[in-house]
Structure 1
Amino acid sequence: MGRVIAALLLLLIAWFQLKYWVGSGGVREVEALRARVEAQARENAELEQRNAVLQAEVEDLREGKAALEERARAELGLIKPGETFYRVIEPAPVDGRPQR
């Protein structure tokens, strides 16, 4: 009778150990979840930094004419009244080499 109880206890301990290491909510799953949380935290930090840059740009565009003017010139090719626009065109390459 004592051996049967000891064998049952050993089986029960082995089952608990198995469940602890590889079962649902076990060590492997917890480590995998920790890794996912860390990756998500890194991604969140990158997105927060990007949002801060975009927010600063929005504030600059709302408050400063210089930034608005720079953006209009760069993206839309606008010029001020009285300015002269010059376009520099590079010569077409001959034989795949640029001309000088």
Structure 2
Amino acid sequence: MASRFVPGFLIALLVVVQAQLWFGRGSLPQVNHMRKELAQLEVANREAQQRNSQIANEVRDLQEGLEMVEELARQDLGMVKPNEIFVQIAHTRQ
């Protein structure tokens, strides 16, 4: 009787372990999904780090001198200093 019980118990245990591997917490499909999500988060993190680095550079430039302020004012606000002549060249298509 015991000789029949042991193989049945081992098969049942194998089924439980396999079910846990494929459908339970930490299963292979869930791990693959989490890996994909991690890759997406790493890409977003790199983009955010690049934006933060760019903003930190702009802040440093603003703290060190007025050249950056003047450049932004010329680009965004059309600033022209006294005794300067503003020339705008329009490109035409031929």
Name the TM-score class by shorter chain.
0.7 to 0.9
Q: From the superposition, tell whether residues 87 and 34 of structure 1 become closer, same or farther in structure 2 (CA, over 3 Å).
A: closer
In 1, Cα distance between the equivalents of 2:24 and 2:91? 68
- Structure 1 counterpart of 2:25: 24
- Structure 2 counterpart of 1:59: 60
Alignment of 1:69 with 2:70, yes or no, is: yes
Alignment of 1:8 with 2:9, yes or no, is: yes
Deviates more, 1:19-28 or 1:75-84: 19-28
Aligned-residue identity in percent? 34
After TM superposition, give the deviation of residue 84 of structure 1 in Å. Answer: 2.5
What TM-score results when the alignment is normalised by the length of structure 1? 0.74
What TM-score results when the alignment is normalised by the length of structure 2? 0.78
In 2, Cα distance between the equivalents of 1:53 and 1:87? 29
Deviates more, 1:27-36 or 1:43-52: 27-36
5+ residue gaps, structure 2: none
In 2, Cα distance between the equivalents of 1:89 and 1:9? 83
